[in-house]
């Protein structure tokens, strides 16, 4: 039952990603396998079922929640005869749509080429088939080699370009001097930008889609006469493509070099505990997991649960846990200062601000020990 619930949550998220990319989802297919088929990821019966459905309903694309190997992708397209996207491809597409600055665009382009390189043959097999196949093999192969070379050159160029910008950004960060720096981190869509706006009274783009923020925004915030810098960073997500983690190095450097992390969680989301795990995992990967942190549980205005009658003997699920119970659990188990707020209604803002103030002050004092 729990597996089933988790599966639906993953599918919900994938559907939300598809929606963010501009698509609508017609139907979900799931399959239980002890391990994915090495050739086609799903079993051939399932592939057949999908193929028929796609044909009957004029579906244009089938999206998989995992990253498919180049050959799985090729085999599936051949079998289902429709465009196949995997999770990585979908996320890259969203990032490409969202990239605003030339820096973000360069990062996304690099990640896209890195994704494309091992998958080049796929496009060629397709073209070969269209042209009638067999005889095309020779020239086809040569052209793939040429294309590979062009793409490799492009990757080198983009990497150089990023290196230059990275250096500039590092200098900028150094020039910010000894002012305490806090970074908002969290799963995508938890309310980081909304919180940033509320704290800095600025207008950072916030919307109910994934990855509204690709570029980092830095704002000066003052709480009780104490100024510090607040950074809004790209949202994390389960299975963030490795190509993206690498190419967003500088964006993540903001997190790596922050003095304090403000970890925002969407408590109204049924998978919020998984989200916390994913974020901690990414923080570990970029070696930023040992920084001082504040846990901010957001969207309490949107929290709902199903109260259970006392004589109801069915096993309790996560849905039966009240906000107070969550509070007690997290206050007890979190090793960080923890607060429950709504960035929208500003409920518990004074408490949160006091918490941030205290943490920033601690760092400030350690830095300027002789000031009073």
Chain residues binding ligand GDP by CB under 6 A are 186, 188-194, 206-208, 212-213, 235, 298-299, 301-302, 342-344
Per the CB < 8 A criterion, the answer to whether 295 and 326 are in contact is no
Rounded Cα–Cα distance for residues 73 and 95 (Å) = 21
Per the CB < 8 A criterion, the answer to whether 280 and 289 are in contact is yes
Angle between helices 120-131 and 137-175 (to 10 degrees): 150
Rounded Cα–Cα distance for residues 33 and 39 (Å) = 14
Minimum CB distance to ligand GDP smaller for 191 or for 241: 191
Q: Cβ 334 to ligand GDP, closest distance in Å? A: 19
Q: Cβ 343 to ligand GDP, closest distance in Å? A: 4
Per the CB < 8 A criterion, the answer to whether 9 and 28 are in contact is no
Report the C-alpha dihedral over residues 11, 245, 19, 198, rounded to 10 degrees. 110
Per the CB < 8 A criterion, the answer to whether 318 and 6 are in contact is no
Per the CB < 8 A criterion, the answer to whether 304 and 346 are in contact is no
Q: Cβ 261 to ligand GDP, closest distance in Å? A: 14
Q: Cβ 301 to ligand GDP, closest distance in Å? A: 5
Minimum CB distance to ligand GDP smaller for 213 or for 251: 213
Minimum CB distance to ligand GDP smaller for 72 or for 342: 342
Residues in the chain: 372
Q: Cβ 341 to ligand GDP, closest distance in Å? A: 7
Minimum CB distance to ligand GDP smaller for 228 or for 297: 297
Angle at 235 between CA 201 and CA 209, to 5 degrees: 80
What is the CB neighbour count within 10 angstroms for residue 67? Answer: 17
Minimum CB distance to ligand GDP smaller for 208 or for 225: 208
Q: Cβ 351 to ligand GDP, closest distance in Å? A: 14
Minimum CB distance to ligand GDP smaller for 41 or for 187: 187
């Amino acid at each position: 039952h729990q597996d089933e619930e988790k599966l639906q949550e993953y599918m919900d998220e994938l559907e939300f990603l598809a929606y963010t990319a501009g698509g609508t989802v017609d139907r979900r297919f799931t399959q239980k396998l002890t391990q994915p088929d090495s050739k086609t990821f799903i079993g051939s019966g399932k592939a057949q079922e999908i193929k028929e459905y796609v044909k009957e309903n004029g579906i244009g694309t089938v999206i998989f929640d995992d990253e498919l190997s180049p050959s799985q992708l090729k085999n599936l397209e051949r079998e289902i005869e429709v465009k196949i996207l995997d999770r990585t491809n979908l996320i890259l597409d969203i990032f490409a749509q969202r990239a605003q600055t030339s820096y973000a665009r360069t990062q996304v382009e690099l990640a896209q080429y890195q994704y494309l390189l091992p998958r080049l043959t796929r496009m060629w097999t397709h073209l070969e088939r269209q042209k009638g196949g067999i005889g095309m093999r020779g020239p086809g192969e040569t052209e793939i080699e040429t294309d590979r070379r062009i793409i490799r050159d492009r990757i080198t160029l983009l990497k150089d370009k990023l290196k230059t910008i990275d250096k500039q950004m590092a200098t900028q960060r150094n020039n910010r001097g000894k002012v305490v720096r806090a970074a908002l981190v969290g799963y995508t869509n938890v309310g980081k930008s909304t919180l940033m706006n509320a704290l800095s009274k600025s207008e950072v783009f916030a919307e109910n889609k994934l990855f509204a923020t690709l570029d980092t925004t830095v704002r000066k915030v003052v709480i009780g006469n104490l100024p510090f810098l607040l950074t809004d960073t790209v949202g994390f997500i389960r299975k963030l493509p490795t190509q993206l983690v690498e190419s967003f190095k500088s964006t993540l450097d903001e997190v790596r070099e922050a003095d304090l992390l403000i970890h925002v969680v969407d408590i109204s989301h049924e998978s919020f505990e998984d989200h916390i795990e994913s974020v901690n995992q990414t923080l570990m990967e970029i070696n930023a997991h040992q920084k001082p942190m504040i846990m901010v549980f957001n969207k309490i205005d949107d929290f709902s649960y199903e109260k259970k009658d006392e004589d109801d003997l069915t096993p309790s699920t996560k849905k039966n846990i009240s906000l107070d119970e969550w509070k007690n659990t997290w206050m007890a188990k979190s090793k960080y200062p923890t607060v429950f707020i709504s960035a929208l209604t500003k409920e518990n803002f004074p408490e949160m601000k006091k918490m941030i103030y205290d943490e920033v002050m601690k760092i400030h004092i350690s830095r300027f020990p002789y000031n009073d």
